[in-house]
Amino acid sequence: MVPTPQDIAQALVAPHKGILAADESATTMRKRLASISVAETPENGHRFRDLLFTTPNLGTHLSGVILYDETIRQNASTGIPFTKLLADAGVIPGIKVDLGLVPLYTGSLEEVSRGLDTLDARLAEYYELGARFTKWRSVIRITDTLPTEASLVANAHVLAQYAVAVQARGMVPMVEPEVLFDGTHTLEQSREVITRTLTILFDTLKAYQVDLRALILKTSMALPGKESGTALVPADIAAATVAALTQAVPAEVAGIVFLSGGQTPEQATQNLNAIAQLGTQVWPITFSYSRALEEPVLQAWKGDDAAGESAQAVFIKSLTDTVSARNGTYTGE
């Protein structure tokens, strides 16, 4: 029996697991390789992802992995397609499907994501390649004058049109309206913008008759701006984040996953732990981290095949710690 999108959504937010966002663009992957002084080649990007995806017992800790267009077409070093390798490990393959950002209008400092015109054909291909969920990212900036209502409404309509198309193809849409960490804003401003962003988004999703029971929200935590000089206090971040979600996210949404969004691995873990310690919410809450999970592995690997097993052990440690944080039991040891 073929799992329904609701079944897949529930599996993605299953207890004691999270989602790896391994959907970096080629440009971002080059930056990650440069950070460890490894040649910035597609081959080395493939080697790193092969290291991640061939880690033993991956399905114990991960419910899903978000791939990139290049990666979903690749095979592991064993010759097995990455999507089959993940599925055989009990990990659901997903795919990032937006095609990046363009200005909202000429001269605008705000952006809207693109790719709707080719989306349906790409979804059909990705389904055949093994993807069962998708991700689309929009970006919201905070300044003294941003975000504008026009930006929030435009991005909500794009995300809703995307979600409708994905569900029509039997897959689960993950909607990601990322409120950026960059800036000098306060924690309260972040909470207010997240609340406003998500309120407009879910009003729009309902207007498009998107099945919220088969939809995952990927969201930022409420954070004071990176350039604000304000310390990240986990208890304050947790309270502001849960307040925003409680106000704006309908109870029928299948689940919420947090992005790490420029935080250090330790900050992302501590803040997730503080959120979990506030108790059970009406939706399952877990993580969909990229840098926070991958950075320790990159530092352990540094392009050296002989360090592969130890780097995979670091990956498992990162996953174990983050799952503990999801459960509210992370101790930092």
Active site residues: 176, 218
Residues near 28 by beta carbon (within 8 Å), at least 6 away in sequence: none
* The three-state (H, E, C) secondary structure of 154-185, written as one string: HHHHHHHHHHHHHHHCCCEEEEEEEECCCCCC
Tokens of 11: 């599996």
Mind giving me the DSSP string for 43-93?
HHHHHHHHHHHT-TTGGGTEEEEEE-HHHHT-B-TTS-BHHHHHHHTT-EE
Tokens of 148: 């504008």
Length of the chain: 333
- Side chain identity, residue 146: L
- DSSP-assigned letter for residue 217: E
Tokens of 166: 């994905």
Task: Check: CB of residue 180 under 8 Å from CB of residue 225.
Answer: no
Task: Check: CB of residue 158 under 8 Å from CB of residue 116.
Answer: yes
Cα 271 to Cα 60: distance, rounded to the nearest angstrom: 23
Question: Given the DSSP bridges, would you call strands 133-140 and 172-179 parallel, antiparallel or unpaired?
Answer: parallel
Going through the chain in order, the beta strands assigned E by DSSP cover 18-21, 62-67, 92-96, 101-103, 111-113, 133-140, 172-179, 216-219, 255-258, 285-289
Tokens of 63: 């419910």
